Amino acid sequence: MQLSAGQTTRASAFTGQRVGVHAVARPGAAKARRTMPAVEAKRVAVLGAAGGIGQPLSLLLKMNKCVTELALFDVAPLVKGVAADLSHCNTPVQVSAHVGDAELEACLKGCELVVIPAGVPRKPGMTRDDLFNINAGIVMNLVTACAKYCPNAILEIISNPVNSTVPIASEVLKAAGCYDPRKLLGVTTLDVVRANTFVAQAKGLDLKEVDVPVIGGHAGITILPLLSQTVPSVTFSDAERKALTSRIQDAGTEVVEAKAGAGSATLSMAYAAARMAESTLLGMQGEPNMFECAFVQSDVVPGSPFFASRVQLGPEGVAKVNGLGQLNEFEKAAMEAMLPELKAQIEKGIAFAKNPPKKE
């Protein structure tokens, strides 16, 4: 999983900070490139744009030099106000608003990247799987529309439970005859963002230099930070490794509890999704060394048809799914423990999509 020679770092289009798991110079990595490639026309949609994630994510995309058109969709009419508000920012991105299923076509036509944070968030005491009954149908409906109106777009799914909503999306796309596994990604970037932050804090490292790959899925014990592969190389005591792993796995719950019933992570998620979208857009533009961890169709772990690991992003989405590298004994045990849960959540999504509840 280590980056090899020639894999470079890149400055964010909107913050100037380095982006991507690739951001940290691993041994042998080439010198950072800081020039932007020529901007190509890119229409990007956010579905669920009036929500807690959708609003700040849309702002960050309005600031992104890779984006030319931003199409905002929600079932809530508030999305019109969000678009009006954003349209006053003096960046060149053209913003449009679309409300309700009847406007999905107008939203999605011509889109090359669609980011989906539509759905309900957790409240204290809930697991991500408790969101399945509502969010499964929402994702199914939206991905059905993507298959119809932008069948070649790259889809990035944020809506939880990601371990099930991504398999649902794959089945919908297969049934529509337009499934391309390179173009369907579950967004797990927030796990990497959190792991980098917590490890930097615990070890007194420069935040910009820390890179921790996070593999598996996006719920509880299926979130597995590979602390042994942290860059720069650091050592952890058994107690530190256990505590950091648990904190990264439970970080979503930490925010859900702090928000006390008013939702889950929105700002850090918008930040993470904006980073993922930027890496994806740069990959689409031909930038050669874009790497992020994402939950994708994978044969890296036998028996788990989807798995989060580091992927290389290219003109068509996922260009390569990397292997896991060397795991230590703690990580091997955590991997064994997670697999039954991850596989069950994947199968639950597939079963739902193959036999969806009848609409009344």
Ligand X SMILES: NC(=O)C1=CN([C@@H]2O[C@H](COP(=O)(O)OP(=O)(O)OC[C@H]3O[C@@H](n4cnc5c(N)ncnc54)[C@H](O)[C@@H]3O)[C@@H](O)[C@H]2O)C=CC1
Ligand Y SMILES: O=C([O-])CC(=O)C(=O)O
The distance of closest approach from Cβ of residue 295 to ligand X in the complex, given in angstroms and rounded to an integer, is 9
- 265 lines the binding site for ligand Y (CB under 6 A): yes
Chain-centroid distance of CA 142 in Å reads 17
Question: Using an 8 Å Cβ cutoff, are 7 and 30 in contact?
Answer: yes
Pattern of binders to ligand X over 10-39, x per CB under 6 A?
Answer: ------------------------------
Radius of gyration of the chain from its Cα atoms, rounded to whole angstroms: 19
| Options 96, 159, 280, 297; binder of ligand X; rule CB under 6 A | 159
Helix (H, G, I), strand (E, B) or coil at 225: strand
265 is a site residue for ligand X (CB under 6 A): yes
> Considering the rule CB under 6 A, would residue 252 count as an interface residue with ligand Y?
yes
Minimum distance from residue 54 beta carbon to ligand X (Å):
6
**Phi, then psi, of 282 in degrees rounded to 5:** -65, -40
The verdict on 255 binding ligand Y (CB under 6 A) reads: yes
Residue nearest to ligand X (CB): 51
Q: Is 185 in the site for ligand X (CB under 6 A)?
A: no
Rounded Cα distance, 224 and 215, in Å: 5
Q: How far is CA 27 from the centre of its chain?
A: 26
Catalytic (active site) residue 218: yes
The token pair that represents 177 in the structure block: 């005859």
Piece in contact with ligand X (CB under 6 A), picked from 26-34, 157-165, 198-206, 339-347? 157-165
Q: If we measure between CA atoms, which residue out of 125, 57, 42 comes closest to residue 270?
A: 57
Binding string, residues 147-186; x marks residues near ligand Y by CB under 6 A: -------------x--------------------------
Q: Is 322 annotated as a binding residue?
A: no
The reply, when asked if residue 350 is annotated as ligand binding, is: no
CA distance 46 to 43: 10
Q: For ligand Y, give the closer residue by CB, 64 or 253.
A: 253
| Whether 157 contacts 117, CB under 8 Å | no
Phi, psi of 251 (to 5 degrees): -65, -35
Are 279 and 64 contacting, i.e. CB atoms less than 8 angstroms apart? no
In the 8-state DSSP scheme, what is residue 91? S
Q: Which is nearer to ligand Y, 121 or 349 (CB)?
A: 121
Q: Mark residues 119-138: x for contact with ligand X by CB under 6 A, - for none.
A: xxxx--------x---x--x
Q: Is 222 exposed, middle or buried (0-12, 13-18, 19+ CB in 10 A)?
A: buried
Residue 232's alpha-carbon distances to 24, 88, 203, 235, 276, in angstroms, are 8, 42, 11, 10, 22
Site membership for ligand X, residue 283 (CB under 6 A): no
Q: Determine the residue type at 119.
A: G
For 319, phi then psi, to 5°, come to -90, -30
Q: Is 48 annotated as a binding residue?
A: yes
Secondary structure letter of residue 11 according to DSSP = B
| DSSP category for residue 27 | T
What tokens does 238 get? Answer: 């058994």
**Residue 51 touching ligand X (CB under 6 A):** yes
Residue 280's binding partner among ligand X, ligand Y, none (Cβ under 5 to 8 angstroms by kind) is none
Q: Tell me whether residue 194 is annotated as binding.
A: yes
Residue 190 interacting with ligand Y (CB under 6 A): yes
Residue 115 interacts with ligand Y (CB under 6 A)? no
User: Residue 209 or 341: which CB sits closer to ligand X?
Assistant: 341
Could you tell which of ligand Y, ligand X, none binds residue 256, using a CB distance below 5 to 8 A set by kind?
A: ligand Y
Query: Of 90-109, which residues contact ligand Y (CB under 6 A)?
Result: none
For the annotated catalytic residues, the residue numbers are: 218
Site for ligand X, rule CB under 6 A: 47-48, 50-54, 73-76, 117-122, 131, 135, 138, 141-142, 158-160, 162, 187, 190, 218, 263-266, 269
Binding site feature residues for NAD(+): 48-54, 74, 135, 158-160, 269
Site for ligand Y, rule CB under 6 A: 121-122, 128, 160, 190, 252-253, 255-256, 264-265
